[in-house]
Amino acid sequence: MNTKTMRVGVIGLGWMGKIHLRVYSELPNVEVVGVMDTNEEVLKEVEEKFNVKTFTDLDSMLEMELDAVSVCVPTVHHLPVGLKVMDKNIPLLIEKPLAASADAGRQLLNKAEEKGLTLMVGHIERFNQAVRRVRELVQDDEVLSINIERVGPYPPRIQDVGVIKDLGSHDIDLIRFITGAEYKDVYAVMSSSRGKHEDSALITAQMDNGILAHISTNWVTPYKSRAISVATKTKYIHADLVTQDVKEYSEFEGYDANYTVREWPVMYKEPVPLELKAFLNAIRTNTEPPITGRDGLTVLETIERVLPPKN
C-alpha cells in the first residue's frame, strides 16, 4: 500500500472548505500545506486553529509543492480556479456542481484529460451510507420508479446559483448512481419567490431503461428533509438521508394483505472523510476516481436540458 504523505491544499474556506480542511487535518499520511481565501479574518481563524500556512493570492499558494487540492470556491469561480490548478499539474477535487455551465465543465474536463490529471467532483451524497444501502438493495431487482425529496430553508451562503444547481444537482447525480441509467427525457417546472434564481423546482424524468424519476427540491420549506423512495417489482424502499435510516417494505399482495417492514441498520459514517480518502487513493494508485469529471459534466448537461443557461 502506498503510504506516501500527501501534501494537500484547500482553496476557498466557506462552509464546505472548512470541512475539507478539518478532515484533511485528521487523515493519516496527509499534510495540509496551505489554504487560500480572500477573507483575512477567516484565514486568521484557521491559521490559529490548524497551524496552517494561509494565502490571499491563489498564484502564490500554487507555487507550493502540492499533491492535491480541494476547490471549494463559489461555483462561478470553478472554471478559472480549476484551470489555474491544472496549469500547475495538480490533481483536484472540485465541489459540486463541476462548474457554472456545461461549457465551463467541458473546459475543465478537457484540460484534465489533456494533462492526464485526476479530476473528481464532490457529489458527496454518493458517500452517504443510506444511499449506498439503497443501491445495494435494488441491484438484483427491477426498479420501477425513484423519488427524491431535498428541501429546506433558504441558505444565505448560496448567492450565485438557484436551487436546481445547488440542491437538485445532488439528486440528478444520485438517480444515475442508483439506477445505473442515463436520462432519456427530463422536464422541470420551477418558481422563484426571491432573487433572480429559482428557489423551488419539480424535476421529472424517464431513464433510458424505462425507470421513472422525480425530484422535489426547494428553499421554501422551514425544515430540512432529505429522502429517497424506490419502488421495484418486489419491494418499496425508503431512506432518510439525514438520519441514514433505511426501511424495506415487502410486496403488497391482495386486497386485505399487509406489508412487512424490514429495517436495514446502517452504521453512520461522515461522508466527507470517505470522499477525501477516495480522492487521495485515486491519486496514489493512479486509478479513476469514483466520481469523475465526466459524471460532473453529465449532471450539468442534464441541468441545462431543464434550465437553459442565462445570457
Q: Taken in order 281, 286, 289, 292, is the CA torsion positive or negative?
A: positive
Position 268 scores a pLDDT of: 84
What kind and span of H or E run contains 68? strand 68-71
- DSSP E strands, 175-307: 183-191, 200-207, 212-218, 220-232, 235-240, 245-250, 261-264
What kind and span of H or E run contains 219? none
Position 121 scores a pLDDT of: 98
Position 256 scores a pLDDT of: 61
Distance (Å, rounded) from C-alpha 131 to C-alpha 31?
Answer: 30
Position 238 scores a pLDDT of: 97
Position 47 scores a pLDDT of: 94
pLDDT tens digits, the chain, 311 residues: what are they? 567 899 999 999 999 999 999 999 999 999 999 999 999 999 999 999 999 999 999 999 999 999 999 999 999 999 999 999 999 999 999 999 999 999 999 999 999 999 999 999 999 999 999 999 999 999 989 999 999 999 999 887 666 788 999 999 999 999 999 999 999 999 999 998 877 889 999 999 999 999 999 999 999 999 999 999 999 999 999 999 999 999 999 876 656 667 788 888 888 889 999 999 999 999 999 999 999 999 999 999 999 999 865 64
Q: Walk me through the domains of the chain, giving residue ranges and CATH numbers.
A: 6-124+272-305 (3.40.50.720), 125-269 (3.30.360.10)
